[in-house]
Amino acid sequence: MQNWPYETPGIPDRFFQKDDSPLTRAEIRAVVISKLRLEKTQQLADIGSGTGSVAIEASRWLGAGQVFAIEPLPERVALIRENMRRFAAGRITVIQGAAPEALQSLPRLDRVFIGGGGRRLAAILDATADKLKPGGLLVMTAVTLETLQLAVERLAGLPFCDMEVLAFQIAQLQKLNGYHLFEPWHAIHVITATLGKEN
């Protein structure tokens, strides 16, 4: 079992079992957790949970709250459960199923994180608007320009406000033949919006 003793978010990626499944990297995960503005009793849905890294980090902040990790692929559900075991992560309910249908049985939510939606993203955003409580926060990540464009356009037609879009371009120092250079990651966008009236 991994014992991550620090209260700040951003558990190193190497501590998670991930195989070939997508993982929200530690640096982006720290931003996501910050943007979610979690409180101890809130309920969060992690849609497209993948390895469960965001769900696990979020669960550390929810004392009496609950995380619903939604993932359609059985091999990734197994990864989520393994990572939960590694970190002795409680307050997580794993749901094997696809959004938006998997959202139907959930209670009203305070927070939603979308890490993966694929071609169903528009329907997932619509369902999120119905499932969030007034004042609830949506945070999502987008890698492709198509996902970013769809999210921004769809959110503009839903009762969300205070939309913020941030683009992150991170480079990591690597060694190459006795030299050091920065290897860039692909750009990652973090989108945040509030359900309800504009502040």
pLDDT at 199 exceeding the cut of 50: no
In the numeric block, the tokens 């993966």 are attached to 116
> What residues contact residue 38 under an 8 Å CB cut-off, 6+ apart?
44, 58, 61, 62, 65, 111
For 143, how many CA atoms within 13 A lie in the half-sphere containing its CB? 12
Distance CA 114, CA 47 (A): 5
Q: Which pLDDT band, with edges at 50, 70 and 90, does 198 fall under?
A: low
Distance CA 68, CA 70 (A): 6
97 within 8 A of 124, measured Cβ to Cβ: no
Residue 177 Rama label (left phi>0; alpha psi -120 to 50; beta): left
- Comparing 20-24, 31-35, 60-64, 193-197, which segment has the lowest mean pLDDT? 20-24
Q: Which pLDDT band, with edges at 50, 70 and 90, does 197 fall under?
A: low
pLDDT at 18 exceeding the cut of 90: no
Residue count of the chain, please give it.
199
171-176/179-184 β-pairing: antiparallel
CATH superfamily of 23-195: Vaccinia Virus protein VP39 (3.40.50.150)
Write down the mean pLDDT value for the chain.
92
Q: pLDDT per residue over 98-138, tens digit each?
A: 999 999 999 999 999 999 778 899 999 999 999 999 999 99
The mean pLDDT value for 10-24 works out to 88
Phi, psi of 88 (to 5 degrees): 50, 45
Distance CA 186, CA 45 (A): 26
Q: C-alpha distances in angstroms, 67 versus 60, 63, 76, 172, 175? A: 10, 11, 17, 31, 39
- Across the beta sheet with 160-168, the strand order is 92-96, 66-71, 43-47, 109-114, 132-142, 188-195, 160-168
Domain ranges of the chain: 23-195
6 vs 83 pLDDT, higher one: 83
Q: Enter the pTM of the model.
A: 0.93
In the numeric block, the tokens 């990734």 are attached to 76
The mean pLDDT value for 62-81 works out to 94
Q: pLDDT per residue over 146-160, tens digit each?
A: 999 999 999 999 999
